[in-house]
Amino acid sequence: MKPRRLAARLALVVLLLGAFGRAQPVAPARLAGGAVSFALLGDPQIGYGLGGDLADGGRFREVLDTTVGERFAFLVIAGDLTQDRGFWQHWIFEASLRHAGAKPLLVAGNHDVTSERSLSAYRAKYGADFYRYAVGGTTILVLNSETLRTPAISLHEFDDQWRWFERTLAQEPSTQRVFLVAHRPPFRDSEDEGDSSGTWPRPTRARLLENMRRHHVTWFLAGHLHERHAVTTSDGIHVVVEPGSARSFDASPIGYRSFRVDGDRVDERFVKVLDAPRPPFRVPGFDNWTPRLFDFSVRHWLFTLGYLAVAALALRTARIERRQAGGTPLGMWGGIAAVLVFFGLNMQLDIDELLQDIGRAGARAVGILPIRHLITGSGLLLGTGAAVWWLGRRFLAARRDRGATFALAALGVPAAWFCLSTISHHDLRMVFPEETWDLLTIAAFVVIGVAAVRAARRASGAAATAVARRG
């Protein structure tokens, strides 16, 4: 064979082998004998745990780093990726996720999806919110519990996902071991228990379990409860819950649940990574109240200093006006300073969380827990309206100070955040992402500070003019 023809044939073989190699997908890691191993991680929920956003990201990264050595086929991350869906929290989550040593299967949680708009944003950022993923003889059906357990967010999404779920489950080969994954578990202790915000309502719970039994599905993996929990029904349906790396209400250690699936056999074990971070201050029965004064957070301290600095400017203006008026009370600017100091203290003492826990305990005691947000919101709305009416009357009766008017309007930003946060840190505070609230608050600082400085200059100038006239 001529050298040129031989070289051409060798080159063709190399090209074909290269093309064939590029066309082959990279298979996930499998164990010997066809077994598949994967891990269940609970809520990362960046922004909800002790120590703030960066501490949450650090704990999540440590868990991911630990999974690398086990060569899992994939990792299931059971929802609530962030607390407030803010840019900074998403950035920390996504930066931490790069430490994953296997494909992450993301699940939509109640902090990720609260409306059709947030659902669209989730899909744009992370892709499908319900889908099928299979490795060997193991199939994972990821469900969006926020649109499947109830049609409250969208009737269309509710119907569409149920159709997909029931059709996909019916078409699943009988040789596959199927795991269902969603953020909220169908029940906590018993499938006959009452409705709860942490689980599925009884009608959709019954529909889900009926489908599981019809198609011999015996595993349901979840997060949301912030505790390590597992329960098995009398006929062998296993519900497994992992608390995640942000916060655990039962003080269980941080880690992940490892699963090894080999034919009909499923072996699971818990792998500890870290001890649970202990709140430096806790009152029994008040799980959410963790004052930041004892739990350092850079963001909270910066905003505390901002509130106190602007409060000092307002108090200075109040004192100048008081001297000019001959020893009268501190007036409008004194009231603005007092409110700013209160909001500054709230950044360290988390008074909004305390009020929220008090409201939750009281509502549970009198049996109105399902409507407590409505009652709390109505009360705060009426109280805020009364306060605005009283301050407005007093202000108009005293003087028409344009600067004080702007300052009072700007004070509405932290007041709105405080009221919404007191009603519920799960839903209403997320009207805006956290960084939007931060920017609005900084803008309020600027407006109030500038108005206070100008009012102080006017008062000082008026005082100097009066002295000159008396002289």
pLDDT at 356: 79
Let me know: does 359 contact 376? Beta carbons within 8 Å.
Answer: yes
pLDDT over threshold 80, residue 365: no
In this structure, are 229 and 352 located in the same domain? no
Report how far apart, in Å, the C-alpha atoms of 117 and of each of 106, 109, 154, 263, 425 are: 19, 14, 11, 41, 19
Q: Which domain range does residue 67 map to?
A: 29-274
Q: Report the domain count for the chain.
A: 2
Position 46 in a domain: yes
Phi-psi region of 304 (alpha: psi -120 to 50; beta: other; left: phi over 0): alpha
pLDDT at 130: 97
Q: What is the pLDDT of residues 327-358, one digit of tens each?
A: 556 678 888 999 999 999 999 888 888 887 78
Output the CA torsion 396→400→401→404 (10° steps).
20
Q: Which of the listed residues 274, 304, 337 is the one where a domain comes to its end?
A: 274
Let me know: does 215 contact 51? Beta carbons within 8 Å.
Answer: no
Which residues, 6 or more positions from 259, have their beta carbon under 8 angstroms from its beta carbon? 37, 38, 39, 40, 179, 266, 267, 268
pLDDT at 188: 94
In this structure, are 261 and 139 located in the same domain? yes
pLDDT at 48: 85
% of the chain residues with pLDDT over 70:
79
In this structure, are 318 and 197 located in the same domain? no
In this structure, are 329 and 269 located in the same domain? no
CA distance 112 to 175: 34
- Per-residue confidence band for 465, with pLDDT thresholds at 50, 70 and 90: low
- Per-residue confidence band for 395, with pLDDT thresholds at 50, 70 and 90: low
| Residue 285 vs residue 453, higher pLDDT | 453
pLDDT over threshold 80, residue 361: no
Q: Which of the listed residues 227, 242, 274 is the one where a domain comes to its end?
A: 274
Strands of the sheet with 219-222, listed across from one edge: 131-135, 138-142, 177-181, 219-222, 238-241, 229-232
- Per-residue confidence band for 466, with pLDDT thresholds at 50, 70 and 90: low
| Residue 238, SS3 per DSSP | strand
- Per-residue confidence band for 23, with pLDDT thresholds at 50, 70 and 90: very low
Which tokens belong to 354?
């305390």
What mean pLDDT do residues 56-79 have?
93
**Range with the lowest mean pLDDT among 149-163, 251-265, 267-281?**
267-281
HSE-CB at 156 with a 13 A cutoff on CA atoms is 3
State how far Cα 319 lies from the chain centre.
43
What mean pLDDT do residues 318-327 have?
76
In this structure, are 256 and 302 located in the same domain? no
pLDDT at 332: 80
Query: What is the residue-averaged pLDDT of the chain?
Result: 83
Q: Which of the listed residues 211, 242, 274 is the one where a domain comes to its end?
A: 274
- Per-residue confidence band for 254, with pLDDT thresholds at 50, 70 and 90: very high
CA distance 255 to 338: 44
pTM of the model as a whole = 0.72
